[in-house]
A = this chain, B = another copy of it.
């Protein structure tokens, strides 16, 4: 089942906060992307690159284990990790081990630890809280607040760049689209492109977020796609690697 999660809280140290409008999209087959734009970027660095973080991957880059009792572990080896791409100092490299715990409220608590100073050095624990919302709705509609089982039959479509010079992934779950395109070996914000779109009742996809010089190379309409087919956008080839409608 595809999922759309809105982050409610991020905590390192004693004081939680949430400065971003983060949505994580998870496709039916487990491909994922998390776009974390600041709501109010502060200072010149955040204004130039108004994202706390973006990561994405296919289902091959995450190991999911259901431990029962509403607890799941997810071990990520991100395909795109903007901290790695931009070589941001004092940020984690390599696998990230996380634990996800269902709360009675329907929210999901994620905890884990990262090693920003290297794998042999001290770890930094973090906590995030996630609100599942209904991906088939135009609004951010909270699901399962009273313990009801939520099942989505929202569409789930995933496109992946096939050109050698780029990495890129677009995930459509229900009405919500998130995607990235990064130029290999660029290593600066100039090489990064992100989109977030919302399908309105009219069937039109409205852009909610658009970042990057090559953002027009990311597919932004999704008609007549089928599994295995390739679409070419501004000269760039994207393969449909998942297509459930």
Interface residues of A (CB under 8 A from B): 6-9, 16-21, 38-40, 103-105, 107, 109, 127, 129, 131, 133, 137, 139-142, 145-147, 208
Asked if A145 and B103 sit within 8 Å, CB to CB, the answer is no
Instruction: Give A208's nearest chain B residue, CB to CB.
Output: B146
Query: Is A39 in contact with B146, judged by CB distance below 8 angstroms?
Result: yes
Least Cβ–Cβ distance between A237 and chain B, in angstroms: 32
Are B105 and A19 in contact, with the CB atoms below 8 A? Answer: yes
> Which one of B17, B104, B129 contacts A103 once the chains associate, using CB atoms below 8 Å?
B17
C-alpha spacing A10/B40, complex, angstroms:
26
**Please, which residues of chain B bring their CB within 8 A of the CB of A109?**
16-17
Q: Which residues of chain B have C-beta atoms less than 8 A from A133's C-beta?
A: 142
Asked if A8 contacts B147 (CB within 8 A), the reply is no
| CB-nearest residue of chain B to A39 | B104
User: Of all chain B residues, which has the CB nearest A19?
Assistant: B104
Residues of B within 8 A of A8 (CB): 8-9, 105, 107, 129, 131
Residues of B within 8 A of A139 (CB): 137, 139, 141-142
Measured CB to CB, the nearest residue on chain B to A38 is B104
The answer to whether A104 and B142 have CB atoms under 8 Å apart is no
Query: Is A104 within 8 A of B147, CB to CB?
Result: no
B129 touches A9 (CB 8 A): yes
The chain B residue sitting closest to A7, CB to CB, is: B105
Instruction: Evaluate whether A20 and B104 lie within 8 angstroms (CB atoms) in the complex, with A8-B8, A9-B9, A139-B139 already known.
Output: yes
